[in-house]
């Protein structure tokens, strides 16, 4: 046990990625949720689906480590780049790059798989640090949410490694 996080004995995990039970999606912001797939407390890594059901700016942020993404539904882009990530697109985010994730007006739902190592640092328009997320804040968010919707605080343990 690491803090309030249980490390499970089984290293394998197999889950239905897009669940039928809406309670599994953890709210992150208005009309923005994540669905944990794997929360690696030993290496500070997490894999999740990000689901967005609104247009506009999600966040301006950077990662100290590389991030890999794969778009399952919808599309999105970074203001700082010329490309648009559409269904089936693979996205690589190099370490230290600041980017602003935007969902276009014509998208009713976006779902993207992300594999994140380390933390995610939120920045304001002046590049001032305004918040962060890491595997431990993700676990805390899951515990609180799963308890509030009747799944129980320990529901997240199946994703913790």
The span from the CA of 46 to the CA of 41, in Å, is: 8
Q: How confident is the model at residue 15 (pLDDT cuts 50, 70, 90)?
A: confident
Report the distance separating Cα 7 and Cα 1, nearest Å: 6
In the chain the domains, ranked by start, together with CATH numbers, are: 25-159 (2.60.120.10)
The model's confidence at residue 10, banded by pLDDT at 50, 70 and 90, is low
pLDDT at 8: 43
Q: Which tens digit of pLDDT belongs to each residue from 19-77?
A: 999 999 999 999 999 999 999 999 999 999 999 999 999 999 999 999 999 999 999 99
- β-strand partners of 116: 46, 67
Tens-place pLDDT, residues 124-145: 999 999 999 999 999 999 999 9
Single pTM value for the model: 0.89
CB 60 within 8 A of CB 100: yes
């Amino acid at each position: 046990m690491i803090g309030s996080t249980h490390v499970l004995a089984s290293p394998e995990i197999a889950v239905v990625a897009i669940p039928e039970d809406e309670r599994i999606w953890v709210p992150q912001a208005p009309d923005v949720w994540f669905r944990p797939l794997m929360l690696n407390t030993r290496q500070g890594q997490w894999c999740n689906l990000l689901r967005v059901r609104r247009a506009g700016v999600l966040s301006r942020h950077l990662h100290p480590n590389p991030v890999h993404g794969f778009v399952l539904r919808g599309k999105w882009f970074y203001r700082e780049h010329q490309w648009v990530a559409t269904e089936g697109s693979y996205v690589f985010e190099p370490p230290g790059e600041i980017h602003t994730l935007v969902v276009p007006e014509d998208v009713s739902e976006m779902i993207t798989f992300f594999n994140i190592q380390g933390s995610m640092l939120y920045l304001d328009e002046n590049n001032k640090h305004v918040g962060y997320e890491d595997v431990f804040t993700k676990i805390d968010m899951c515990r609180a949410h799963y308890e509030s919707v009747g799944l129980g605080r320990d529901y997240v343990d199946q994703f913790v490694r």
